[in-house]
Amino acid sequence: MKPTNRNSPSLFAIVAAMLFALMALAVSAQQSTPPPSPHADVLSIGGSVTEIVAALGQQHRLKARDTTSSYPVEVTNLPDVGYMRSLSPEGVLSVDPSLILSEEGAGPPEALDVIRAADVPFVEVPDALTADGILRKIKVIGAALGVPERAEALVAEVETALAAALADAERPAHEKARVMFVLSTQGGKINASGTGTAADALIRMAGGVNAVTEYEGYKQITDEAVGLAAPDVILMMDRGGDHGAADDKLFEMPSIKLTPAAGTRSVIRMDGLLMLGFGPRTAEAVRRLNDALYAKGT
């Protein structure tokens, strides 16, 4: 009879150890990769709307978003229903939301008519180009999400930050830089912001003067009009293509070449959503633009 090795582990002990190890690995995996939130039910349309949802601590409620919603960066992992101004009812309703929060200006109108007719609560968030407007947006979204107390706390925080940024940006009229916001340079033509736009509002909040005031909205303007605007600084979004021509190409354009901005090669590029979103980060946008306009800290 073969002697038994008392120091050798039994088959039962080996199996038990293996099961224990597998259980430990499973627990570890669950801890490092939390399951999707069972409360994800909201479709957010509009970059600033999505930012406010996240700032209210309700990011876990987001089920889908539109293309303009790019902050916080984690939301870009959510299903994308398309650009907010060219939505399709099929794309929006395919994500099966329980609540739609939409920034004012979404469309087209006929698509919104179909979406509104569906049995889904639809809340339109008013556009904003002022500090008070931003605070109103926060309250509307907080009420829609059922977190009015959190909204009031965020309102107080944002209101304080905005008041401080606006106060710091104030300058005498004769010291203010003339700023032209260039939306695109498609086809060698300048599409610039007039009055009544987010770009116009931010320029003024940051202590600058909009160099283009002859019209409202965004419009392609002539080379002569650019020369008459005589901007000290060109402001653009920090992306390539027609929306962000490189410095050398920009300052060689005939319409820009003879402006004061070209003489000093003064161009400021900022994140589009930060600059034009008018949401919880607008105080940061005001400070960044003001610092860039007047070279603070350099």
Cα 212 to Cα 178: distance, rounded to the nearest angstrom: 9
- 140 to each of 40, 116, 130, 136, how far by Cα in Å? 19, 18, 16, 6
- SS3 per residue for 193-227: ECECCHHHHHHHHCCCEECCCCCECEEEECHHHHH
Q: Has domain 42-168 been given CATH number 3.40.50.1980?
A: yes
Task: Give the pLDDT score at 25.
Answer: 41
Tokens of 240: 């390539």
Strands (E) in the chain, as ranges, are 42-45, 62-65, 99-103, 122-125, 178-184, 190-193, 209-210, 218-221, 233-237, 267-270
Q: What is the CATH class of 173-294?
A: alpha beta
Tokens of 85: 């101004």
Same fold, 42-168 and 173-294: yes
Tokens of 215: 């019209």
Domain ranges of the chain: 42-168, 173-294
Cβ atoms of 192 and 185 closer than 8 Å: no
From first to last of its 298 residues, the chain has per-residue pLDDT tens of: 444 444 445 554 444 444 444 444 443 434 333 344 557 999 999 999 999 999 999 999 999 999 999 999 999 999 999 999 999 999 999 999 999 999 999 999 999 999 999 999 999 999 999 999 999 999 999 999 999 999 999 999 999 999 999 999 999 999 999 999 999 998 899 999 999 999 999 999 999 999 999 999 999 999 999 999 999 999 999 975 556 688 999 999 999 999 999 999 999 999 999 999 999 999 999 999 999 999 864 3
Cα angle for residues 73, 32, 57 (degrees, 5° grid):
45
Task: Give the pLDDT score at 295.
Answer: 83
Cα 234 to Cα 226: distance, rounded to the nearest angstrom: 11
- Tell me the Cα Rg of the chain: 26
Q: Which of 197, 202, 182, 41 is nearest to 105 (CA)?
A: 197
Q: pTM of the prediction?
A: 0.84
